[in-house]
Amino acid sequence: MNYWVSVVFRAIPLAMMVVCLGYGVDIWSTTADASSSVAGPVVTFLAAICLCLFATAATIIRQLIGRFTRTDAVLYPTLGYTLAAGTVAYGLALLWGSSSTRPHTDHYVAGHVVFGLGLISGCVATVATASTKFSLIPQNSVRPEGDRQPPSGAFRPGAFVAMATAPVVLALVAWVFAITNLVLPATSARFTAGHVLAGIAMVCTALIGLVLSILRQVQNSYEPRERLVWPWLVIALGSLALVWGVVLLILDRESYYRTPGLVVIGLGLVCFSILSKIGLLALVWRRTFALANRVPLVPIVTALSCLFLAAFVFEAAVADPSVYIAARVLVGLGAVCFTLYSIVSILESGTSSG
């Protein structure tokens, strides 16, 4: 990989982090109403996901350009997990600040969603950790089909199990919080938090496939059936999120159905951005895929979809204040999708032989 190209690919997640951080703080600080008290923290903490994706990008790129050090192997995963822990902690602080007797407060919704973004950040930090031995993937990929001998320098069994388990646990936590909110007596806050957390849980579940794809290719234990299992898992999750969001919009029994409906659609587009990474790893494993350099177009399409949808929702928000939050969160989700373009492009450069 050309050095200056690598600089651009590392700059993209940082630029998207600045967009989310600046836009979120602007929403948070310039308007003092319930909608901005939810949209502000959520958009701001989407920056944590972008910075965790930067840690992943830097981890892989520094291996591709031959500058990866032991310090890097500790620094980038630590950065990711620290951001994830801080985001989770802030989300829980918002939750504890909302009165249990008044679960309709803006802090209740913001706390749950920020907590969920921390869970996604934890999954992405695990992707960065698994990528610390990314350089073994191209080496393993050129071995004969059927060769399952672990390479020298692969992860130890304990480290492999810990990394494989982390996103599973985080996804389960997200599903538990989502289901709990959906089965408790209905309020607008629980409805919104429950459905958005379900979308977040789908993103975390999709990231299980990415972590395991990277780990098993690093360990040289990637099976032919996994070329189908992990991509189709994410296709199912992304499709479920899109349908889920559309159903909420069609039902539209109350005005508060609209925000979770639109945000879950945005989270479904994030799942399809993740699909591009998992699909690329599957397509180029021990084979040549002529269109590998077209795969990075997927997150560009999803990013544009988020941003165009946000534009329409901004127009709708002029007459319908109930979609104020959704319009702004969709901008942040578009930034996350575009950040994933950088990661997929790096993977294409590092793994494709065609």
In-domain check, residue 256: yes
Residue 342 CA to residue 349 CA, distance in Å, equals 11
In-domain check, residue 97: yes
In-domain check, residue 135: yes
In-domain check, residue 146: no
Q: Distances from the Cα of 246 to the Cαs of 59, 74, 195, 253, 337, in angstroms?
A: 37, 42, 12, 13, 20
In-domain check, residue 145: no
In-domain check, residue 211: yes
Looking at residue 98, its pLDDT comes to 67
Angle at 306 (CA atoms; ends 265, 350), nearest 5 degrees: 105
> Is the separation of the CB atoms in 175 and 194 below 8 Å?
no
Q: What is the pLDDT along the chain (354 residues), one digit of tens a residue?
A: 778 888 999 999 999 999 999 999 999 888 768 889 999 999 999 999 999 999 999 999 999 999 999 999 999 999 999 999 999 999 999 988 765 445 457 889 999 999 999 999 999 999 999 999 999 999 999 888 888 889 999 999 999 999 999 999 999 999 999 999 999 988 899 999 999 999 999 999 999 999 999 999 999 999 999 999 999 999 999 999 999 999 999 998 888 999 999 999 999 999 999 999 999 999 989 887 777 788 999 999 999 999 999 999 999 999 999 999 999 999 999 999 999 999 999 888 877 644
pTM of the model: 0.95
Neighbours of 227 (CB within 10 A): 19
Residue 59, SS3 per DSSP: helix
Angle at 295 (CA atoms; ends 293, 298), nearest 5 degrees: 140
Amino acid found at 244: W
In-domain check, residue 238: yes
Residue 78 domain boundaries: 3-140+151-351
State how many domains the chain has: 1
In-domain check, residue 279: yes
> Is the separation of the CB atoms in 284 and 141 below 8 Å?
yes
Looking at residue 354, its pLDDT comes to 42
Neighbours of 353 (CB within 10 A): 12
Looking at residue 101, its pLDDT comes to 43
